[in-house]
Amino acid sequence: MIQQLLAYAKMYRLQGINIDFENVRTADKANLVQFVRELTPMLHEQNLVVSIDVTPKSNSELWSLFLDRPALIQSVDYMMLMAYDEHWASSPNSGSVASMPWVKRAVDRLVEEDGIPPAKLILGMPLYTRIWTETIGQNGKRKVSSKAVGMDRVREIIAAKKLAPVYDAATGQNYVEYSENGALNRIWIEDALSIKARVDLANRYGLAGVATWNRSFQSDDIWSVIEGALNKRS
């Protein structure tokens, strides 16, 4: 696998390799650490930057517990925090993909509990949000479903339905809701306001930078928002 990665990096003239392992059992925790220990020196020989994605810390075995963050940071150049899916696709409750207090706690835990140097930590930001649909069944229980959408789609909905977003202080995001076909639809919006707030957080913590997921969800103007906020670093 390492040889294949080296070959692809050379073929496509890559600057580096980003590692993203998910759905790994905790029993393989040490195996992942060892793989990264063997991978990184060989990539460094080819002047490649090595980063690894990690989730916010949680009690989920396949999503979080298998990641030995203090051990992994010893090998890689950067650790990229995937700070999204606070409320995931099948969440039983509607909510933000990544509220600002939740993101801040995720950064704090990596820095304070795991000793991740801020200068080696990159904040991953969502360019998507979810439209949450809430209905009440015949049994009187609320049913929640969601679908991921990009920034432009949310703008289209706001314009078509003549909605007025309001600032939600609890999440640090703009928010809208509307009724349709007997259901309540709720959106915690990812836009220039929320993205700038995330970059500002990265700046305050002295993080290495920011990353995004994923490019198909962005609005064209969001890149200048990110660049402008990053350029404000002292």
Residue whose C-alpha is closest to residue 50's, from 110, 105, 5: 5
User: Are 20 and 134 in a shared domain?
Assistant: no
Do residues 7 and 54 both lie within one domain?
Answer: yes
Same domain, 12 and 52: yes
Provide the pLDDT for residue 234. Answer: 56
Alpha helices in the chain (DSSP H): 2-11, 29-45, 69-72, 100-112, 151-160, 192-205, 222-230
CB distance 50 to 76 below 8 Å = yes
CA distance 158 to 152: 10
User: What CATH number did the domain enclosing 21 receive?
Assistant: 3.20.20.80
Say yes or no: 79 and 140 in one domain.
no
161 and 223 share one domain:
no
Task: State the residue range of the domain holding 65.
Answer: 2-127+191-230
Residues 135 and 152 in one domain: yes
Q: Distance from first CA to last CA of the chain, Å, rounded?
A: 41
Q: The whole model's pTM is what?
A: 0.94
Instruction: Give the integer Cα–Cα distance in Å for 53 and 71.
Output: 14
Q: Is residue 91 domain-shared with residue 113, that is, in the same domain?
A: yes
Q: Look at residue 140 in the predicted model and tell me its pLDDT.
A: 81
What per-residue confidence (pLDDT) applies to 159? 98
Total number of domains constituting the chain = 2
Per-residue model confidence (pLDDT) at position 102: 98
210 and 172 part of one domain: no
- Supply the CATH number for residue 143's domain: 3.10.50.10
Classified as helix, coil or strand, 220 is coil
Residues 25 and 74 in one domain: yes
81 and 41 both lie in a single domain: yes
pLDDT tens per residue across all 234 residues of the chain:
999 999 999 999 999 999 999 999 999 999 999 999 999 999 999 999 999 999 999 999 999 999 999 999 999 999 999 999 999 999 999 999 999 999 999 999 999 999 999 999 999 999 999 999 999 887 888 899 999 999 999 999 999 999 999 999 999 999 999 999 999 999 999 999 999 999 999 999 999 999 999 989 999 999 999 999 998 875
In this structure, are 120 and 137 located in the same domain?
no
**In this structure, are 62 and 121 located in the same domain?**
yes
Using an 8 Å Cβ cutoff, are 62 and 28 in contact? no
Ordered strands of the 49-54 beta sheet: 16-19, 49-54, 78-82, 121-126, 209-213
- Distance from C-alpha of 143 to C-alpha of 135, rounded to nearest angstrom: 5
pLDDT at 138: 79
Q: How far is CA 195 from each of CA 115, 169, 202, 229, rounded to the nearest angstrom?
A: 26, 15, 11, 9
